[in-house]
Chain A
């Protein structure tokens, strides 16, 4: 800083910046000591910073709706990409609920010989209940089986015309021991003179759990892949935004705008795209459930079940909107990190 005395400027009435004399003097002092930082108080700057965030959030919304068609298209692409894994996930949840009655415990069905006498069956059931390898035995008489079948199959009249009951009595044996002993238990059941056929349901239980796992992995993998797709969509959209506002970015940088200041509106735009994409995705899934719930309910009632499809609830709404907003923000970050720094005045 020059120490030489400089002629004090005369303050004329047309002072370009009309400040109170005291403030003016403070500014002069700041200049004289070589202070070159912006002369704005910290509190003001904090308020200004928060105000800018509010402004940019509002502006992002305004820009989103300024070109409603283009914005809607982008949001819809995001929505479709998110609705796919979300509906797969929801499908899995519903599927698991539908098979919840099968609690994963294997069960052995013993179809009894039709000629077996009632007393022999009763004592056999008693014997089985004493067996330490057996946890529970349920006896279904031919009459019960027929009744159940008539109710669930809707073939009541046809069955009534049969004259005699074609169904055998069934023992549902629930094993107590570990899975390894199942085969041995089934084998001993087969050896009984009373049993006609023994069906071990374990394979199905296992297949079901494998299938469930497969579905979950599939929806997770698809979800990750499509989340990446969402990020790329937002990166590209924000990149175009940045290009179209190149002039503005240059001017802002020339008047002392930091990179953070320049980035802010674009980050909010990305957030906006994600948020609306997430909301649209939720709507798509809801719509899909509404379309499917009729046929599914019909199918369930044909099996004698009161099962209803679960729609995407509030949890899905929050997760989709929040997750998508974060993805949008991430995409915008990638775009601004690559492009905002590159735009420098020259």
Chain B
């Protein structure tokens, strides 16, 4: 589903964010991406969401080569990738419903379909009863769940999350993780960047660890192997 082949990313400042990173994700996999800040996690996610382009190497997502993606095609590519942000990036000038509906109206969905899909997504994250509220009155955990509903409302094949539990307490974090596991169970490929090592260890899933831009670990950690 996702293939990185010898990907290098050097920013204009001369900083090497990723160095010869190669990895392969199967369809329907759930992987964690770890590493210290500045290790290249964010860069990898930006490459995957076509926010940045690789300096060298190629990235294939669902058979599509991102290097060859024209700027005008980027929006259409992103419609198939759900993105969850650490600071959830909700818009406070509209209701929870309208926030979640945004990817659908962007894709030109008709109104009835929008209502149906938005309610399905909100129901899944357990916030159907709050669809009319402004997200600003919701708790941090609820806001993050609205963000997740928005990321999955378009039924993307890939779900990418950048520190989705960064600001949440352990119990809320576990709930959020369970949500990702649920989506993964219905075939969505999920990649979660996180530095919450305890949480990751409990999931017993495949872990990719970056250090100074290099992929130094790829596997399902038995004990402390993934966290040097």
**CB of B167 within 8 Å of the partner chain:** no
Contact, CB under 8 Å: B106 / A256? yes
A11 to B76, CA, bound (A): 27
In B65-94, which residues have CB < 8 Å from any A CB? 72, 75-80, 83, 89, 91, 93
Closest partner residue, chain B, to A12 (CB atom): B185
- A9: chain B residues at CB < 8 Å are 28, 185-187
Per-residue 0/1 for A254-289: is the Cβ within 8 Å of any B Cβ (1 yes, 0 no)?
A: 111111010000000000000000000000000000
**A-B CB contacts (within 8 Å), total count:** 140
Closest partner residue, chain B, to A247 (CB atom): B91
Contact, CB under 8 Å: B187 / A251? no
In B90-130, which residues have CB < 8 Å from any A CB? 91, 93, 102-103, 105-111, 113, 117, 120-121, 124
**The residue from B26, B75, B77 contacting A2, defined by CB atoms under 8 A apart:** B26
In the assembled complex, the CB of A4 is this many whole angstroms from the nearest CB of chain B, namely 7
Contact, CB under 8 Å: B121 / A4? no
In this complex, the member of A9, A12, A255 whose beta carbon has the largest number of chain B beta carbons within 10 angstroms is A255
In this complex, the member of B51, B80, B152, B187 whose beta carbon has the largest number of chain A beta carbons within 10 angstroms is B187
In B27-86, which residues have CB < 8 Å from any A CB? 27-28, 46, 49, 51-52, 61-64, 72, 75-80, 83
Closest partner residue, chain A, to B78 (CB atom): A256
A144 to B48, CA, bound (A): 97
Contacts A1-B63, A6-B28; is A254 near B78 (CB within 8 Å)? yes
Per-residue 0/1 for A130-163: is the Cβ within 8 Å of any B Cβ (1 yes, 0 no)?
A: 0000000000000000000000000000000000
Contacts A31-B62, A38-B154, A48-B110; is A251 near B80 (CB within 8 Å)? no
Contacts A48-B110, A261-B106; is A11 near B78 (CB within 8 Å)? no
Contact, CB under 8 Å: B75 / A257? yes
**CB of A114 within 8 Å of the partner chain:** no
**CB of B150 within 8 Å of the partner chain:** yes
In the assembled complex, the CB of B187 is this many whole angstroms from the nearest CB of chain A, namely 4
Interface size of A in residues (CB-CB distance below 8 Å): 50
Contact, CB under 8 Å: A18 / B185? no
**CB of B157 within 8 Å of the partner chain:** yes
**CB of A123 within 8 Å of the partner chain:** no
- B46: chain A residues at CB < 8 Å are 346
**The residue from B28, B78, B89 contacting A250, defined by CB atoms under 8 A apart:** B89
Contacts A250-B89, A254-B89; is A48 near B105 (CB within 8 Å)? yes
Q: List A residues at the B interface (Cβ < 8 Å).
A: 1-2, 4, 6-12, 14-19, 27-28, 31, 34, 36-40, 44-49, 51-52, 55, 247-248, 250-259, 261, 344-346
